[in-house]
Amino acid sequence: MNLSVETSPTSVRKSIGKTGVLLVNLGTPDSPSVPDVRKYLREFLMDGRVIDIPFASRFMLVNGIIAPFRAPKSAKVYKELWTESGSPLKYYGQIVERELQKELGTDYVVKLAMRYQSPSIEAGLKAFQQEGLSELIIIPFFPQYASATTGSIYELVMDLLKSWEVIPAIRFVNRFLEHPKFIEGFAQIARKHMEAYDYDYFLFSYHGLPERQIYKGDITKRVCQLGECCNTLHALNQHCYRAQCFETTRLIVKALGIPEGRYTTSFQSRLGKDPWIQPYTDDIIKGLPGKGIKSVLAFSPAFVADCLETTIEVGVEYKELFEQSGGQHWQLVESLNDSPLWIETLVDLVKTA
């Protein structure tokens, strides 16, 4: 008599415990007040992966210069961004948390967390610890990998988990820029604007990073030149943030059928005097009207939820800069926020992580 029973590891794991899914975005102040913004800036900028200089220098820079002087200015901008529901980044994150839980069902426990401020990663992991999970999936809300974003989340999660007596199986989502539904999500939003207006040009603006962080990421020390090396994404540059951004642009451009010569990839949000990855978005914008370009559809595909860098920086400040330079029509392509395609993307990422 054969008493053996064939079972797959996955089926056994599912029958024993649930899978935890931690969705992690960058973070947001608890309110647009100066004290809350200052608190957020201090936590954010004291991260050694964000400002990658020695601790003593970073401490003096952040606490002696940036936080005291930048917080009042940033608070004013956050007040422009704030809605009745609070910060858009957190508001949309909470909706996505609920919708993803509905789609995944009772075999999963979905939690939203922020790398900085609340709800914290630590609180999310503690809640999972009480669930008797058999597996944990971490999904940073960054389409492209960078040490200052996804890498920082990895580091904190592993640092927090190292004290657990029992650590469940863990899977990290490294990036998802190539996911067809992520690309189609931005293309779908863009098509609505393209149907309403015939744009001369298309600008893809990504959050910037200091050049030194890109060079540090090239562990081969023979690939990165911050130039044509980003024209393709391959094995040796696959973790380069700049190369991933150019690849994201190429995929969205292909989905929309945008001709060569009518789009540019650039980088925004510079901080300090050190060189950041180029081309700089503000420099590109200033030169467009002189080339006869009067209308621009602007994308910000480094973000999956509208925030300060999309709604205010790209949607308002760059619009004003374009018009001051002689442009006439500027339109921001909104982020994925809580769109159905974004939820479908996350379902796929969970199931295939």
Token pair listed for 172: 């990290």
240, 230 Cβ separation under 8 angstroms:
yes
Given this model, what pLDDT does residue 272 score? 77
pLDDT in tens, the chain (353 residues): 344 434 444 444 444 789 999 999 999 999 999 999 999 999 999 999 999 999 999 999 999 999 999 999 999 999 999 999 999 999 999 999 999 999 999 999 999 999 999 999 999 999 998 888 999 999 999 999 999 999 999 999 999 999 999 999 999 999 999 999 999 999 999 999 999 999 999 999 999 999 999 988 887 777 777 778 888 999 888 999 999 999 999 999 999 999 999 999 999 988 878 899 999 999 999 999 999 999 999 999 999 999 999 999 999 999 999 999 999 999 999 999 999 999 999 999 999 97
Cα–Cα dist 116/37, whole Å: 11
Which residues, other chains included, contact 67 with Cβ-Cβ below 8 Å and sequence gap of 6+? Answer: 38, 41, 42, 45
CATH top class, domain 11-176+340-352: alpha beta
Cα–Cα dist 33/290, whole Å: 40
Q: What is the pTM of this model?
A: 0.92
Same fold? 11-176+340-352, 180-332? yes
Q: Domain segments of the chain: what residues?
A: 11-176+340-352, 180-332
Angle at 39 between CA 36 and CA 44, to 5 degrees: 125
Given this model, what pLDDT does residue 130 score? 86
Task: Pinpoint the alpha helices (H) of the chain.
Answer: 9-16, 34-45, 55-61, 67-81, 88-104, 121-129, 152-161, 180-196, 211-217, 241-256, 281-287, 318-324, 340-352
For the domain spanning 180-332, the CATH number is 3.40.50.1400
Residue 54 burial (C-beta neighbours within 10 Å; 0-12, 13-18, 19+): exposed
Cα–Cα dist 204/269, whole Å: 14
Given this model, what pLDDT does residue 3 score? 40
